[in-house]
A and B are shown apart, each in its own frame.
Chain A
Amino acid sequence: MTGGDAILRALEAEGVEVMFGIPGGAIMPTYDAMARGTTVRHVLARHEQGAGHMAQGYARASGKVGVAIATSGPGATNLVTPIADAWMDSTPLVCITGQVRSTLIGTDAFQECDITGITMPIVKHSWLVQDARELPSVLRAAFHVARTGRCGPVLVDVPRDVQEAVVDVTFPAELDLPGWRPPTKVHPLQIREAGRAVANARKPILYVGGGTLNGDACDELLELAEAGSLPVVTTLMGKGAFPEDHELHFGWPGMHGPKWSNLAINTCDVLVAVGARFDDRVTGKLSAFAPGATVVHLDVDAAEISKLRDADIPVVGALATAVGELAREVAGHREDGAAPPTAWLEQIREWREEFPLRYERDAEWLKPQTVLETLQRLTADDDVIVTTGVGQHQMWAMQYVRSVRPRSFITSGGLGTMGYGIPAAVGAKAARPEATVVCIDGDGCFQMTAQELATAAIEDLPIVVVLVNNGYLGMVTQWQDMFYDGRRSHVDLRGGVPDYAKLAEAYGGVGMVVTDEAELETALAEALRLERTVVIDCRVAPAEQCYPMIPSGAAALDMIEYVDTLEVKEAKAS
């Protein structure tokens, strides 16, 4: 077989169902092999960045490894953003790129770029394959590295002549990775110490990140929380790891998290970080974050332990095992009489009553929060996967969408990639065709990857885009208003251009425009029913700001809870 065939046989051997990509010169032998036949579905994206985010959305929705494929040079560099995104959010991703012929490497040949060099700081590992006979073992290793330990992206760069070479290869290939030894076992002494600390805490809290989802530890997390009556806050990446309708769920920490969640996390006595990495958007000023707490840190990546916040009790290991063992340990302590933190739970509930999320309705404008509340109401009982772009709409989605199942909320957390939402939704739909996939997007984000609506329509991967359209780069506007004395610098997108509904139709979808609450409910219900790609252009209040907010670098408890629009107007006038 040819090297191209070998790539496909290797993907089939890994159980890959779908790959996302675009052909081009240096990857043509592999696309030719596809034409000869493969069981792997190929979804033709309209931009390699779209293909990469689709593969990420697929991976996040399915728990499997996402696969993106592109040509050399610009095809490969267009994958750089998804690779960086997958690196920051630990999404298992295998990117296969064509490379110019071996004899041309290093000569500045047409469409040549050193993609293994460019991506080196943002991949777990990469391979430049020099011999077609290595393809089976390299791809086996690529999938293994992407999904074991802390998940993440890998890149396999294959010169054109290697794809063309005719070779004898055998499957399954051997796995030869003596240097890759992610932790498997969990240290029993650490679990015992952690169990004691958690069970005897008066004010414990579970701070749950995306590692819980990647580590398939959600069932164990539920066991742990229930065994110990432990309150749970989930980060943006951890959203859905713990059912948000559960009585032990207490919101989301960080910059736009509600006050009750931040109060709880910052006054706790034992902070249990589960697959979370003390990101600056969660902690605010690090030295003021949960200052009195004993930190128990569970992570599969030893390098996360004490990277930012010193862990008093580190537990390194696969999270399903670690969290499961901790749950049993805590359950044992409870049976032996260690009291559950009843008063503490009551305290957090009181805070939640006292400091609810709030916004003002407006007679003139539809409010973005209303859009999300309505979406939540209409989809509460359905199998829905939500993806988002990045910005205000993303934060409102965090606040108002209730994720009750793992892998049902897919967003770009670490890298903050505007434009992630639409292609990620297409990928999620490919992973879970039976689910309704909704992309909550902003008008700024939408225009960065809107071309993938064509992919959604043509590949029969329908998604509903709820466009929170305020005519501004909203989050930047909010920062300019709050921290740059209201000097609005190049944030006005001049609502009206493009006509998003018409654009949706041009891409083979359905377009709707919504300007008030009554239209909103009808349009959303219709869109969710259609099983077609729909864009609902929700024209929302242009100056709405996302609260509460902890200013960047400020202590979490110095949050700005809520500012009346009136107060803002008065402040500006004075």
Chain B
Amino acid sequence: MKHTLSVTVQDKPGALTRITTMFARRGFNIESLAVGPTERPGVSCITLRVDCAQHSLEQIEKQIHKLVDVLRVTELVSGEAVERELMLVKVAVPPERRAELVTTAEALGGRLLDVGTDGVVLELVATPEELDAFHELCRPYGVADLVRTGRVGVPRASARRRAPTRLAAIN
């Protein structure tokens, strides 16, 4: 099962490496990873997407928690968190079909960023699942280049606080 972990860390050299090294060493796979600053100076947030069983997830959370630079580990549970991802896609679409593609993109909240002789560059910010769908839509037009940032998320403002996890219970 897939899980999203939000890890806040002190912005120290090697903080990210320590987390990825721990994943590699203990045989856990990272599906996507996004890093950036937070509202607190000197504190970054690492959002990790992992595919693992519940038992492994608890182990991962506990192992991350032990790292000295890590301030907090939270699981972003789907439905209780807002998750978004940015995708940039260059589509080698011939001029006569561009209008159709751009309209579709805009209908989904996408934007046209660049137009060239060989194609267009589109931007879309959406849930990772919506990005998957948009990627499929673009495919018939000829996707020349595609990059995604990896998902980021925050707990919903409207969400009730989750019951403490097992980790919290034994701490």
Hey, which bits of chain A sit against chain B, CB under 8 A? Answer: 116-117, 120-121, 124-126, 128, 145, 149, 177-180, 183, 187, 190, 301-303, 305-307, 314-316
Contacts and interface: CB of A to CB of B under 8 A. Distances in A.
A307 B59 contact: yes
Interface in B19-55: 21-22, 24-25, 55
B71 A120 contact: no
24 contacts: A121-B21, A125-B67, A125-B68, A125-B69, A126-B14, A128-B14, A145-B68, A177-B68, A179-B10, A179-B67, A179-B70, A179-B71, A183-B171, A301-B66, A302-B66, A302-B167, A303-B59, A303-B63, A303-B65, A303-B66, A306-B58, A306-B59, A307-B59, A314-B170
Interface residues of B, number: 26
A137 to B, nearest CB: 13
B2 interface: no
A306 B21 contact: no
Given A120-B17, A121-B21, A306-B55, 18 more contacts: A120-B14, A121-B25, A124-B66, A124-B68, A125-B68, A126-B14, A145-B68, A178-B10, A179-B9, A179-B69, A183-B171, A190-B170, A301-B66, A302-B65, A302-B171, A303-B62, A307-B59, A316-B171
A120 B21 contact: yes
A93 B70 CA distance: 21
Nearest to A190: B170
B18 interface: yes
A190 B171 CA distance: 11
A315 B65 CA distance: 17
Contacts, number: 57
Contacts of B79: none
Contacts of A179: 9-10, 67-71
A128 B169 CA distance: 35
A193 to B, nearest CB: 12
Contact of B170 (A117, A145, A305, A307): A305
Contacts of B55: 306
A178 B70 CA distance: 8
Given A120-B17, A120-B21, A121-B21, A316 B170 contact: yes
B13 interface: yes
Shortest beta-carbon contacts, A-B, top 9: A303-B62, A125-B68, A121-B25, A316-B170, A120-B21, A180-B68, A314-B170, A179-B71, A302-B62
Contacts of A128: 13-14
Contacts of A178: 10, 71
Contacts of B169: 187
Nearest to A297: B170
A314 B166 CA distance: 10
Contacts of A307: 59
A187 B171 CA distance: 7
Contacts of A303: 59, 62-63, 65-66
Nearest to A130: B13
Nearest to B64: A303
Interface of B: 9-10, 13-14, 17-18, 21-22, 24-25, 55, 58-59, 62-63, 65-71, 167, 169-171
Contacts of A183: 171
Contacts of B70: 179
B18 to A, nearest CB: 6
Contacts of B58: 306
A190 B169 CA distance: 10
Contacts of A117: 17
A121 B167 CA distance: 23
Contacts of A316: 170-171
Nearest to B71: A179
Nearest to B25: A121
Nearest to B17: A120
B171 A120 contact: no
Most B C-beta atoms less than 10 A away, residue of A120, A126, A145, A301: A120
Nearest to B168: A302
Contacts of B24: 121
B22 A121 contact: yes
Most A C-beta atoms less than 10 A away, residue of B22, B66, B170: B170
A307 B55 CA distance: 8
Nearest to A180: B68
A187 B24 CA distance: 32
Contacts of B68: 124-125, 145, 177, 179-180
B158 to A, nearest CB: 29
Contacts of A180: 68
Most B C-beta atoms less than 10 A away, residue of A121, A190, A303, A314: A303
Contacts of A315: 170
A302 B165 CA distance: 13
B58 to A, nearest CB: 7
B18 A120 contact: yes
A180 B13 CA distance: 16
A128 B68 CA distance: 14
A187 B25 CA distance: 31
Contacts of B10: 178-179
Nearest to B60: A303
A303 B64 CA distance: 9
Nearest to A128: B13
A187 B170 CA distance: 7
Contacts of A124: 66, 68
Nearest to A187: B170
Contacts of A301: 66
A475 to B, nearest CB: 26
A178 B66 CA distance: 12
Contacts of B171: 183, 302, 316
B160 to A, nearest CB: 24
A145 B24 CA distance: 23
Contacts of B59: 303, 306-307
Contacts of B67: 125, 179
A528 B91 CA distance: 82
A125 B55 CA distance: 25
Contacts of A314: 170
B67 to A, nearest CB: 7
